[in-house]
Structure 1
């Protein structure tokens, strides 16, 4: 599979280079928040090409330091183009409402080892057919590969034919993917039961799950089959990201090509989906309706849709899609059909230059995050404001 660079950025970065870059002074990073909301758990990307390195300095030796407290903050290097060297340095600033904060980019030899637990983690899972699974400290997801598809097509038990996105409901902050798969390998069905950390009781089938894609032609929705290939880009304390490839698929005579660039950052309930797509000017993104007894909320003007379930589960669950640019969310559709798993709450997103960008995620009441529909929807409004008003970052 060819190398693919992920073009993901939660913060908008404006770069100002110093004329005095030959000095040994720290590079100053100023992060400005223009909203009347405090900001945290939003990832800033510092590109290697945007800074000056003095002779003998290595990008991978840089650390981020809070200028006011002089403490090192967690960061993560990413090799986006997969050429063997890091291209980007990630960190998550904390900025009060309507204010700015300064950080320093410094070379610090012998610094205290940073927290390197891969809270943001993803991998291909061949021991469970061929899932691809990902998680952070709040949520977990998975989707399905070509072996699972072929098993269904060959009438072999245990397969899954779906490009939908599954939700794993976790209520602990530490990583659980490897633990649950290992336990399930010894005791089939293990992760379908809550042993104190959460469980997978979210049915996907051929639905869109939480953020699966489709193309609408006239009044019908057309979907792809399972992913055909994958590439893991990074895992770490701040972000995991990867790429899923799909075979060309047909939407009522229209040839659709699709590649999904997916990332999940620390502290967020939402995976970010950057979809490369041809064959359509509008991409549909869906939330499964399960037994159709949940409550829908369509806030197209604010750039999000949501589905709240209180009867399908023993607990309650909210799912949502949020547009990276709310102006790109042009419609929603409460789509009901007698076909199994095909009833979904859809949103329609504009495709610009063969690309559509959105966030999809969920909150489970038992996780203790957003225990009511009102609390969940308040968070959606806040989250949408933040992604539509990125932090302003300058480098001096």
Structure 2
């Protein structure tokens, strides 16, 4: 009898918990419609105990049967989901209410649109993508191959761009066809291609430290950890061997994430040994045009690439981008447009990415910079989220 009473108590407790749906109010303070911005809710913010499983909940619009796609993330790797993510559409200067409800029998779908992984079959890349853009960078085996003069290696901590023109995942497909010899990701057959040169440059968002006018940077990453892949976000951590900046030992790791609908990856740099960093955009053969707006917090570079054009960009939160350096040199791949960023509590945050003319709505430099300006404004005026518990 005691056993049955105990089970009844558990069922009653769970029913009471699930029946008290949380009401989420999301407010847009800007006079523009907003979408593709991710709301993050922790258990504490939702008023849930640690025992509650976030993956058992869904997000529903109030007064409708519309369920939003959502994702749960285990940020600390303990096997327990820490954060619930969703992306609301909010009209200009307005607010909308949502319910957090039990996920059973909902109509929400779980399509994988944001993806990343370590790629040991192509030396040891780490690659990531969403429905708009794709990137990769390089690991220790690729570095060792260069140092041992073995062909096929890559020595850089710069960020490579894969110019995709489709909204579905292409990373696995492109690697498979290249490695199997059935095709090549260097040729565009309708989905896009890799024709972006990184070399020793910073690519799109790699960092450096300036010491007495010279830029120093790490070699390839030495370890990686995937945190999440899903419909809304992919994120991972890259760690680098300590490196030297004119006598200063630099310790560096990167938490990189890419959300659905965004052309820019988020970089959270954890770094010791410097009070500032320089995040770079490669200038390639210096035939493009830079754009800068320190007050709004963005830099851009618009350039020709083969038979098309590409806009690269960097956006930083308010008052963290202090200046820029249009660094030009005759040394191969070392010309970069640098954004100088403050390091606070051993951390710096910025966003970096690109818009390819063939694979995005940005057909001119002005259109690309309008996107960066709007992105910066939204970063500095985030959606206001309130939970009624």
Q: TM-score w.r.t. structure 2 length?
A: 0.93
Structure 1: how far apart are the matches of 2:164 and 2:18?
A: 48
- Size of the aligned set, in residue pairs, is 373
Q: Show CA shifts across 1:274-293 (max 9, x none).
A: 00001111110000001101
Alignment CA distance shift 1:109-1:305 (3 Å): same
Deviates more, 1:49-58 or 1:98-107: 49-58
2:386 to 368, 374, 394: 394
Structure 2: how far apart are the matches of 1:177 and 1:351?
A: 33
Q: CA deviation at 1:188?
A: 7.8
Match of 1:18 in 2: none
Q: Structure 2, unaligned stretches of length 5 or more? A: 1-15
Q: CA deviation at 1:56?
A: 8.8
Match of 1:151 in 2: 145
Q: Larger radius of gyration, structure 1 or 2?
A: 2
Structure 1: how far apart are the matches of 2:52 and 2:98?
A: 19
Structure 2: how far apart are the matches of 1:125 and 1:386?
A: 33
1:141 to 118, 135, 139: 135
Q: Given the alignment of the two structures, is residue 335 of structure 1 paired with residue 343 of structure 2, yes or no?
A: no
Structure 2: how far apart are the matches of 1:39 and 1:134?
A: 24
Match of 1:4 in 2: none
1:117 to 111, 122, 126: 111
Q: CA deviation at 1:22?
A: 6.3
State the secondary structure of the residue aligned to 1:316. strand
State the secondary structure of the residue aligned to 1:374. helix
1:31 to 26, 35, 43: 26
2:284 to 290, 296, 311: 290
Mapping of 1:338-357 within 5 angstroms? 338-357=330-349
Q: CA deviation at 1:48?
A: 1.6
Q: Show CA shifts across 1:59-80 (max 9, x none).
A: 2211000113231110001111
Q: Structure 1, unaligned stretches of length 5 or more? A: 1-20
Q: Given the alignment of the two structures, is residue 99 of structure 1 paired with residue 94 of structure 2, yes or no?
A: yes
Contact 1:77-1:90 within 8 A present in 2 as well: yes
Q: Given the alignment of the two structures, is residue 202 of structure 1 paired with residue 196 of structure 2, yes or no?
A: yes
Match of 2:11 in 1: none
Alignment CA distance shift 1:99-1:278 (3 Å): same
Q: TM-score w.r.t. structure 1 length?
A: 0.92
Contact 1:211-1:285 within 8 A present in 2 as well: yes
Match of 1:322 in 2: 315
Deviates more, 1:237-246 or 1:189-198: 189-198
Q: CA deviation at 1:145?
A: 0.1
Q: Show CA shifts across 1:288-334 (max 9, x none).
A: 00110100111111100000002x421010001000x2311000001
Mapping of 1:1-396 within 5 angstroms? 24-53=19-48, 58-112=53-107, 114-187=108-181, 190-310=184-304, 312-323=305-316, 325-396=317-388
Contact 1:302-1:384 within 8 A present in 2 as well: yes
Q: CA deviation at 1:233?
A: 0.2
Contact 1:298-1:304 within 8 A present in 2 as well: yes
Structure 2: how far apart are the matches of 1:96 and 1:60?
A: 28
Q: Show CA shifts across 1:345-381 (max 9, x none).
A: 0010000100000000000000132111111111111
Structure 1: how far apart are the matches of 2:19 and 2:40?
A: 22
State the secondary structure of the residue aligned to 1:347. strand
RMSD: 1.6
Q: Show CA shifts across 1:130-181 (max 9, x none).
A: 0000000000000000000000000000000000000000000000000000
Q: CA deviation at 1:23?
A: 8.3
State the secondary structure of the residue aligned to 2:19. coil
Contact 2:362-2:368 within 8 A present in 1 as well: yes
